Every structure is written in structure tokens, then in C-alpha cells.
Homo-oligomer: A and B are copies of this chain.
Amino acid sequence: MEALKQKILQEGSIRLPDVIKVDSFLNHQIDTAFLDEIGREFYVLFGGENITKIVTIEASGIAIGCAAARHFGVPVVFAKKHENKNMDEDVYQVTIHSFTKNTDYVAKIARRFLDPSDRVLIIDDFLANGEAASGLVRMVRSSGAEVAGVGIVIEKSFQNGGQKLRDQGIRVESLAVIEKIKEDEVIFKD
């Protein structure tokens, strides 16, 4: 997605060794008009997949999942990562490792919101080691629903998350794929 690459080049800031911050439009401050374009792009890619539900994970996935869900005309469910005493007790849950924080956390979705008849598109902001996306895949499958694909805004192809998912036969589409982050340059995989 050319407009996304341009936005990353214009507004992203590099933190070596491997971080590109896009908090001016994607995951802290949000440019909703641009997110709408992102949502449309996911629909262009997965619109033929008979998606019945979008699944994402808090917090950064929520805005993107919503932007996509509007184009698909389906509900979005976000997995919860933090304790919440008002959460259903009857949940699907999965343990996910965070390399960023070097810790494990448990992500949960209330069972009511996933059905074996669902065809799910998993959406997230970044794909690096793939722990979150793989966790969501396991959680969705544990409900009996089908994972129709994974849609990612920014994939870092120098980490192996995308490879791991594709090796499982999962369709992964990333709107921008970063091959390398250098001191003052982001290099995209064309």
C-alpha cells in the first residue's frame, strides 16, 4: 500500500535496532481518515473470503480492527490482555509471549463472541515474531471457527512471524513489509 509506505517514511521514527514508531497516526494518535483507507485495503484483499468476524487484540489492534470491520460490515471482537472483573468467566484463552516486554500474558475472548460457523479475519498493527497473531489463530481455532486470513498493517520480514504463519498455510497479507531498519532509513520489501 503505497500511501502507507509514504506515511511511514514521512511520520515514522526509527529506534534501533528494530523499532519503527508510527504513533502519530496508527497506535497512539490515530488518523481516522487514513485508517479508513487501511480498512478499505483489507477489504480489497479479503473481501472475497466471506468473513463473518474480525478478531484483534487490545490496545493497538482496536482502531484498525474497527476500521476494517466497517468495510466488511461485520462485528469486531478484541481479545483482552488485562484483568477485568466484569469479563465473562466462560472464555477462550491463550498464553502469548511478549518479546518486547519479555513476559507472558493471557489473552481472552468471551465464548459468546466466537462461533464454529465464523470465518475470521485476524487483524493487527505489527507482525514481528508473530506471537500475538499466532496466539489469536490458536484461540480462534479452539472455538471451532475458521481463520480465513491474517491482515497486518506493518510486517517486519527480518523477523520470522510472517514465515511461521505462512508455513502453517495461513494467508497473511501485510500492507507494508519492512525488510530492514537502518540508522536513518527504512527499507521496504517491494
Chain A residues near B (Cβ < 8 Å): 15, 19, 21, 23-24, 28-33, 35-36, 58-59, 62-63, 65-67, 69-70, 73, 75-78, 80, 82-88, 100-101, 109-110, 112-113
Contacts and interface: CB of A to CB of B under 8 A. Distances in A.
B32 A59 contact: no
Given A29-B113, A33-B73, A59 B86 contact: no
Given A15-B86, A32-B69, 12 more contacts: A23-B86, A28-B77, A28-B110, A29-B75, A30-B77, A32-B70, A33-B70, A33-B73, A36-B70, A63-B76, A66-B66, A86-B100
5 contacts: A23-B88, A28-B109, A29-B77, A29-B113, A63-B76
